[in-house]
Chain A
Amino acid sequence: MRKGIERKMGDIVIRGRGVISGKAEGPALVFKTSVQGNCAFDLETGEIIQKGHPLEGQNIANTIIILEGGRGSAGWSCRLHSTVVSGVGPKAMIFPKLDSRTAAASVVAGVPVVTDLDQNPFQVIETGDWLKVDGDAGVIEVNKVPK
């Protein structure tokens, strides 16, 4: 299997390292700016409440989130964890590279996670694209949604 972007019938495949196993699919939610570890999400609904964030008012529930890294507060993992326990967390997570906050969140959230990607996901994936994430193989299939 060759590395890099593979175009098959309109799909794009990104390869990386599977961190947390499992498979999930859902709509992409692309965080061009990361979120802070406190007061970022409503823990009961999954709504993004961080004031002034470009995605304020949107919801992480049942999406596949793409984030560069954590910021603001060492409570990053525990609050994401609470959204998962509340049933309003993401179905999978994609990080170009892991830092301490996002690695901790990956382990405790337990949803499929892929990192160390061979392509920049912020150039390939747009919010609303339909993604299939394989946390065992480390593969992300991107199905572009017609605009």
Chain B
Amino acid sequence: MQMTVEELRILEGKEGSLKKRALELIVAYAEALGALRLCKISKAHLYAGAHQYLRIRALEGLDPDQIISKMHFCSDERMILNDVACFAQTDAGPMDPDQWSKLGFSFNEATFNDLFLCRYLHAGIHLIGTCAPYLTGFIPLMGEHYVSTESHAVTLMNSIWGACANADGIEIAFCSAFCGFTPYWGNHVPEQRKATHLIQIDWTPSSIHDWDALGYAIGRKAPAFCTPLLTGNFPKVDINRLRACFAAMAASSGVEMCHILGHTPEALTREMATGNNKVESDVISEKEISEVFDLLGCRGGEVCFVSLGCPHFSIEQIKEVSQSLSGRKIHPRVEFQVWTAAAIKSISDRCGYTDEIEKAGGNLVCGSCPLLTGKFPDDGQYGLLFDSAKQANYVRSKVRGKVHYGTARECVEAAVSGVFNPGS
């Protein structure tokens, strides 16, 4: 692999042991992929905090520095995080760092998480804490190389802005952030971003929920190494619809880039999206959408937990929830959560939306989601309801109770009545 003088200097340890170790792993990753060189990144979005995968028995007794060294940098040598090499901010964490007690975390659990957050802050990483970094200003432009640990954010920022990243993984993203480089491979290379599959959508998605279900259906059909080009009638497409679509798609597939004919900048024409390469074709119709609802639970039933906000809600989505809860009360059995980024919650507080949700008995919480907190009632008797295929998809593997999948409006109605009634 071709190395620059700057990269060789880092590998010789002249810029410290942390940067050296980070680059060693990036070089190993590049060699595994068959990349011929590295490229510089300008932004990093990082899955930071005392997450569940770090709270395993084998790591008990280790301090945060030792855990970070072992699990981010694969090193038994103690690495102290310093001087992140580019603009960096945190992804969603394991809890709301302010409202942790409302979620059922103990003081010790919150303190342990804070110890991790202090390390990242010390290294220069902004503690923003959202899976939707573009809501708070993380907007890489066309051709800009970045890393992100949130799979849907990678698909979204690659597809609708033409930015360049792969869904590498948590460790590799940390290594890139601290050495400043990633392999020039995959979505970083213009020729490798072309569509491989033409997917005709014979169904017209309208609501955000339609797009969520469509994304999951596309992902179920997408084979490994697939970059889809979607064609069809998409009259109301906007960013809230696309982020729901890409979150669901990233949960059911390995897709990291998705062209939409006439809507995304690298797919203004079919020839532009495919590069005139031969592509395979597939069709998605109402049948595949119905299968998603059947699979993720749409038959209704009594619920004890309702969660909205995957990906983290935008301010207009929070406003809609607060308006539909005005003057109403959440059912006493139901725990109702709406998830967003802390910056968006500040706006919601100012606009009075948070107050409206809290007066009804719900919580506007930040920086995490049920999948990452792992805190939800689950006695097996009552179900759990989500407006997101991504949450429903993952959480159903972790609970005894039935998981349901409904629209945001159906979720609010279920939170008030205690019963999920599809079509309400």
Contact = CB atoms under 8 A, between A and B. Distances in A.
Nearest to B396: A51
A104 B250 contact: no
B25 interface: yes
Nearest to A76: B169
Interface stretch (B146-154, B357-365, B409-417): B146-154
Interface in B212-236: 219, 224-225
A107 B29 contact: yes
A39 B58 CA distance: 19
A34 B254 contact: yes
Contacts of A22: none
Most buried by A among B25, B58, B169, B219: B169
Interface in B174-206: 185-186
Given A72-B250, A74-B148, A108 B371 contact: no
B57 A97 contact: no
Interface in B386-424: 393-398
Most buried by A among B31, B59, B74, B170: B170
Interface residues of B, number: 50
Contact of A77 (B52, B70, B171): B171
A100 to B, nearest CB: 4
Interface string A74-103: 111111011001110000000001111101
Q: How many residues of A sit at the interface, in one of the four size bands? A: 35 or more
Interface in A1-52: 19-20, 34, 36-40, 43-44, 49-52
A89 to B, nearest CB: 11
A138 interface: no
Given A81-B71, A108-B74, A39 B397 contact: yes
A103 B398 contact: no
Given A19-B32, A74-B154, A77-B170, A99 B225 contact: yes
A44 B397 contact: no
Interface of A: 19-20, 34, 36-40, 43-44, 49-52, 68-79, 81-82, 85-87, 97-101, 103-108, 110, 113, 115
Q: Which 9 A-B pairs have the closest CB atoms?
A: A69-B224, A77-B169, A104-B169, A100-B166, A39-B397, A78-B170, A71-B254, A103-B32, A74-B167
